[in-house]
Amino acid sequence: MTKASPDIEKLAAQRLAADEARIDRTTGTGPRRTNVTLGTAWRSFWRHPSPWMISTFLLGSVVARVLVGGGSWWELVIPAALVALFPLIEWVIHVFVLHWRPRRLGPVEVDSLLARKHREHHADPRDVPLVFIPWPALVWLLPAYVVVALLAMPSLPSALSLLVSVHAIKLGYEWTHYLVHSDYRPRSRWFRSVWRNHRLHHYKNEHYWFAVTTAGTADRLLGTYPDPASVPTSPTVKRLHATEDTERGTVAS
Protein backbone atom coordinates (compact mmCIF):
# COMPACT_ATOMS: atom_id res chain seq x y z
CA MET A 1 0.00 0.00 0.00
CA THR A 2 1.43 3.37 -0.99
CA LYS A 3 1.96 6.13 1.51
CA ALA A 4 -0.28 9.16 1.12
CA SER A 5 1.34 12.34 -0.10
CA PRO A 6 2.09 15.09 2.45
CA ASP A 7 -0.57 17.26 0.80
CA ILE A 8 -3.26 14.63 1.41
CA GLU A 9 -2.15 14.11 5.02
CA LYS A 10 -2.23 17.89 5.53
CA LEU A 11 -5.72 18.03 4.02
CA ALA A 12 -6.97 15.38 6.45
CA ALA A 13 -5.51 17.26 9.41
CA GLN A 14 -7.14 20.50 8.21
CA ARG A 15 -10.50 18.76 7.81
CA LEU A 16 -10.42 17.39 11.34
CA ALA A 17 -9.26 20.71 12.82
CA ALA A 18 -11.99 22.61 10.95
CA ASP A 19 -14.60 20.10 12.05
CA GLU A 20 -13.56 20.39 15.70
CA ALA A 21 -13.49 24.21 15.47
CA ARG A 22 -17.00 24.25 14.03
CA ILE A 23 -18.23 22.04 16.86
CA ASP A 24 -16.83 24.53 19.35
CA ARG A 25 -18.41 27.51 17.61
CA THR A 26 -21.76 25.76 17.33
CA THR A 27 -21.99 24.33 20.84
CA GLY A 28 -19.99 26.91 22.76
CA THR A 29 -18.51 24.16 24.89
CA GLY A 30 -14.80 24.71 24.20
CA PRO A 31 -12.24 22.32 22.74
CA ARG A 32 -13.06 19.41 25.08
CA ARG A 33 -16.88 19.84 25.23
CA THR A 34 -16.81 18.28 28.73
CA ASN A 35 -20.25 19.60 29.72
CA VAL A 36 -22.09 17.34 27.28
CA THR A 37 -23.38 14.62 29.57
CA LEU A 38 -24.83 11.26 28.67
CA GLY A 39 -28.24 12.52 29.85
CA THR A 40 -28.02 15.54 27.55
CA ALA A 41 -27.14 13.29 24.61
CA TRP A 42 -30.00 10.94 25.50
CA ARG A 43 -32.56 13.77 25.52
CA SER A 44 -31.23 15.09 22.22
CA PHE A 45 -31.47 11.61 20.72
CA TRP A 46 -35.25 11.60 21.17
CA ARG A 47 -35.70 14.83 19.24
CA HIS A 48 -35.40 12.91 15.97
CA PRO A 49 -38.03 10.73 14.25
CA SER A 50 -36.07 7.51 13.79
CA PRO A 51 -35.85 6.53 17.51
CA TRP A 52 -39.58 7.11 17.95
CA MET A 53 -40.48 5.07 14.89
CA ILE A 54 -38.30 2.13 15.89
CA SER A 55 -39.34 2.22 19.55
CA THR A 56 -43.03 2.25 18.51
CA PHE A 57 -42.54 -0.99 16.59
CA LEU A 58 -40.46 -2.37 19.46
CA LEU A 59 -43.18 -1.61 21.99
CA GLY A 60 -45.83 -3.06 19.68
CA SER A 61 -43.79 -6.24 19.27
CA VAL A 62 -43.29 -6.62 23.02
CA VAL A 63 -47.00 -6.10 23.76
CA ALA A 64 -48.02 -8.54 21.01
CA ARG A 65 -45.53 -11.15 22.25
CA VAL A 66 -46.89 -10.92 25.80
CA LEU A 67 -50.51 -11.13 24.64
CA VAL A 68 -49.86 -14.11 22.34
CA GLY A 69 -48.00 -16.04 25.03
CA GLY A 70 -46.89 -19.61 24.47
CA GLY A 71 -43.70 -20.22 22.60
CA SER A 72 -40.72 -22.42 23.37
CA TRP A 73 -37.38 -22.22 25.17
CA TRP A 74 -35.48 -22.26 21.87
CA GLU A 75 -36.75 -18.75 21.14
CA LEU A 76 -34.04 -17.55 23.57
CA VAL A 77 -31.58 -18.49 20.81
CA ILE A 78 -33.03 -15.76 18.57
CA PRO A 79 -31.71 -12.68 20.42
CA ALA A 80 -28.44 -14.45 21.26
CA ALA A 81 -27.85 -15.36 17.60
CA LEU A 82 -28.73 -11.87 16.38
CA VAL A 83 -26.37 -10.21 18.85
CA ALA A 84 -23.58 -12.59 17.81
CA LEU A 85 -24.21 -12.09 14.09
CA PHE A 86 -24.96 -8.37 14.17
CA PRO A 87 -21.35 -7.18 13.65
CA LEU A 88 -21.26 -9.20 10.40
CA ILE A 89 -24.74 -8.02 9.36
CA GLU A 90 -23.77 -4.43 10.10
CA TRP A 91 -20.54 -4.77 8.09
CA VAL A 92 -22.35 -6.22 5.06
CA ILE A 93 -25.02 -3.49 5.10
CA HIS A 94 -22.41 -0.76 5.52
CA VAL A 95 -20.23 -2.01 2.67
CA PHE A 96 -22.79 -3.18 0.11
CA VAL A 97 -25.83 -0.97 0.83
CA LEU A 98 -24.58 2.28 2.35
CA HIS A 99 -21.37 2.46 0.29
CA TRP A 100 -23.16 1.41 -2.87
CA ARG A 101 -21.62 3.03 -5.93
CA PRO A 102 -24.38 4.37 -8.25
CA ARG A 103 -24.75 2.26 -11.37
CA ARG A 104 -26.74 2.56 -14.54
CA LEU A 105 -28.89 -0.24 -15.91
CA GLY A 106 -29.75 1.07 -19.33
CA PRO A 107 -31.59 4.39 -18.83
CA VAL A 108 -32.14 3.75 -15.10
CA GLU A 109 -29.67 4.80 -12.40
CA VAL A 110 -29.66 2.42 -9.43
CA ASP A 111 -28.96 4.50 -6.35
CA SER A 112 -30.98 4.00 -3.18
CA LEU A 113 -32.03 6.65 -0.69
CA LEU A 114 -29.90 4.95 1.97
CA ALA A 115 -26.77 5.19 -0.21
CA ARG A 116 -27.44 8.82 -1.14
CA LYS A 117 -28.00 9.86 2.45
CA HIS A 118 -24.89 7.99 3.55
CA ARG A 119 -22.79 9.91 1.04
CA GLU A 120 -24.21 13.11 2.51
CA HIS A 121 -23.34 11.79 5.97
CA HIS A 122 -19.72 11.30 4.94
CA ALA A 123 -19.62 14.78 3.42
CA ASP A 124 -20.69 16.27 6.76
CA PRO A 125 -20.44 13.84 9.70
CA ARG A 126 -21.56 16.63 12.05
CA ASP A 127 -24.97 17.03 10.37
CA VAL A 128 -27.05 15.29 13.05
CA PRO A 129 -30.17 14.35 11.01
CA LEU A 130 -27.91 12.45 8.59
CA VAL A 131 -26.63 10.30 11.47
CA PHE A 132 -29.98 8.52 11.70
CA ILE A 133 -31.58 5.99 9.38
CA PRO A 134 -33.69 8.15 7.02
CA TRP A 135 -37.28 8.10 8.19
CA PRO A 136 -38.70 7.62 4.66
CA ALA A 137 -36.71 4.38 4.50
CA LEU A 138 -38.07 3.27 7.88
CA VAL A 139 -41.62 3.81 6.63
CA TRP A 140 -41.26 0.70 4.48
CA LEU A 141 -38.41 -1.09 6.28
CA LEU A 142 -40.20 -1.51 9.62
CA PRO A 143 -43.37 -3.05 8.13
CA ALA A 144 -41.16 -5.19 5.86
CA TYR A 145 -39.49 -6.69 8.94
CA VAL A 146 -42.92 -7.75 10.18
CA VAL A 147 -43.76 -9.48 6.90
CA VAL A 148 -40.38 -11.22 6.71
CA ALA A 149 -40.59 -12.41 10.32
CA LEU A 150 -44.08 -13.85 9.82
CA LEU A 151 -42.96 -15.68 6.67
CA ALA A 152 -39.60 -16.86 7.99
CA MET A 153 -40.49 -18.18 11.44
CA PRO A 154 -42.44 -21.39 12.12
CA SER A 155 -44.93 -19.85 14.58
CA LEU A 156 -46.43 -16.51 15.57
CA PRO A 157 -44.71 -16.46 18.99
CA SER A 158 -41.29 -17.05 17.42
CA ALA A 159 -41.97 -14.39 14.76
CA LEU A 160 -42.81 -11.88 17.48
CA SER A 161 -39.69 -12.87 19.45
CA LEU A 162 -37.65 -12.19 16.32
CA LEU A 163 -39.29 -8.80 15.86
CA VAL A 164 -38.61 -7.80 19.47
CA SER A 165 -34.95 -8.72 19.00
CA VAL A 166 -34.59 -6.96 15.63
CA HIS A 167 -36.18 -3.72 16.81
CA ALA A 168 -34.21 -3.67 20.08
CA ILE A 169 -30.93 -4.15 18.22
CA LYS A 170 -31.91 -1.51 15.65
CA LEU A 171 -32.67 1.00 18.40
CA GLY A 172 -29.33 0.15 20.02
CA TYR A 173 -27.58 0.77 16.70
CA GLU A 174 -29.22 4.18 16.29
CA TRP A 175 -28.25 5.21 19.83
CA THR A 176 -24.64 4.06 19.46
CA HIS A 177 -24.19 5.73 16.08
CA TYR A 178 -25.75 8.96 17.35
CA LEU A 179 -23.59 8.94 20.49
CA VAL A 180 -20.40 8.44 18.46
CA HIS A 181 -21.23 11.50 16.35
CA SER A 182 -22.47 13.60 19.26
CA ASP A 183 -20.39 15.89 21.46
CA TYR A 184 -20.35 13.33 24.27
CA ARG A 185 -16.81 12.27 25.06
CA PRO A 186 -16.09 8.54 25.45
CA ARG A 187 -15.41 7.37 29.00
CA SER A 188 -15.69 3.59 29.03
CA ARG A 189 -13.04 1.48 27.33
CA TRP A 190 -15.66 -0.12 25.06
CA PHE A 191 -17.08 3.20 23.89
CA ARG A 192 -13.62 4.72 23.39
CA SER A 193 -12.74 1.87 21.04
CA VAL A 194 -16.01 2.19 19.10
CA TRP A 195 -15.65 6.01 18.95
CA ARG A 196 -12.08 5.77 17.65
CA ASN A 197 -12.98 3.06 15.13
CA HIS A 198 -15.77 5.11 13.59
CA ARG A 199 -13.78 8.34 13.50
CA LEU A 200 -11.05 6.52 11.58
CA HIS A 201 -13.69 5.52 9.04
CA HIS A 202 -14.90 9.10 8.65
CA TYR A 203 -11.61 11.00 8.85
CA LYS A 204 -8.86 8.57 7.85
CA ASN A 205 -10.05 6.17 5.17
CA GLU A 206 -13.57 5.20 4.13
CA HIS A 207 -12.43 1.78 2.90
CA TYR A 208 -11.79 0.45 6.42
CA TRP A 209 -13.37 0.28 9.90
CA PHE A 210 -16.95 -0.39 8.80
CA ALA A 211 -18.24 -1.60 12.17
CA VAL A 212 -20.28 0.99 14.08
CA THR A 213 -21.44 -0.67 17.30
CA THR A 214 -18.28 -2.72 17.86
CA ALA A 215 -14.57 -2.41 17.11
CA GLY A 216 -12.20 -5.12 15.93
CA THR A 217 -14.94 -7.71 15.39
CA ALA A 218 -16.26 -8.05 11.83
CA ASP A 219 -13.58 -5.67 10.55
CA ARG A 220 -10.83 -7.87 11.94
CA LEU A 221 -12.48 -10.99 10.54
CA LEU A 222 -13.00 -9.51 7.07
CA GLY A 223 -9.69 -7.70 6.71
CA THR A 224 -10.79 -4.09 7.20
CA TYR A 225 -9.12 -3.46 10.56
CA PRO A 226 -5.57 -2.40 9.69
CA ASP A 227 -3.07 -0.52 11.81
CA PRO A 228 -4.09 3.13 11.16
CA ALA A 229 -0.42 4.09 10.79
CA SER A 230 -0.11 1.73 7.82
CA VAL A 231 -3.11 3.17 5.95
CA PRO A 232 -2.86 6.28 3.78
CA THR A 233 -5.36 9.03 4.45
CA SER A 234 -7.98 8.86 1.73
CA PRO A 235 -8.50 12.02 -0.33
CA THR A 236 -12.13 10.97 -0.91
CA VAL A 237 -13.16 10.17 2.66
CA LYS A 238 -15.72 12.99 2.53
CA ARG A 239 -16.63 12.49 -1.13
CA LEU A 240 -17.41 8.80 -1.53
CA HIS A 241 -16.70 7.36 -4.98
CA ALA A 242 -14.98 10.50 -6.24
CA THR A 243 -11.66 9.96 -7.96
CA GLU A 244 -8.44 11.29 -6.46
CA ASP A 245 -8.02 13.63 -9.43
CA THR A 246 -11.54 15.01 -8.93
CA GLU A 247 -10.92 15.53 -5.22
CA ARG A 248 -7.61 17.25 -5.78
CA GLY A 249 -9.20 19.53 -8.36
CA THR A 250 -11.96 20.42 -5.90
CA VAL A 251 -9.44 21.16 -3.16
CA ALA A 252 -7.28 23.24 -5.51
CA SER A 253 -10.26 25.33 -6.55
**pLDDT, tens digit, for every residue of 169-211?**
999 999 999 999 999 988 899 999 999 999 999 999 999 999 9
50 with 167: CB under 8 angstroms?
no
183 with 23: CB under 8 angstroms?
yes
Crossing angle of helices 135-152 and 156-181, in 10° steps, is: 150
For the stretch 17-54, pLDDT in tens is 665 555 444 333 234 444 689 999 999 999 999 999 99
96 with 218: CB under 8 angstroms?
no
pLDDT number for residue 242: 82
Q: Where are the domains of the chain?
A: 39-252
CA–CA separation, 78 and 163 (whole Å): 10
Q: What predicted TM-score, i.e. pTM, was given to this entire model?
A: 0.83
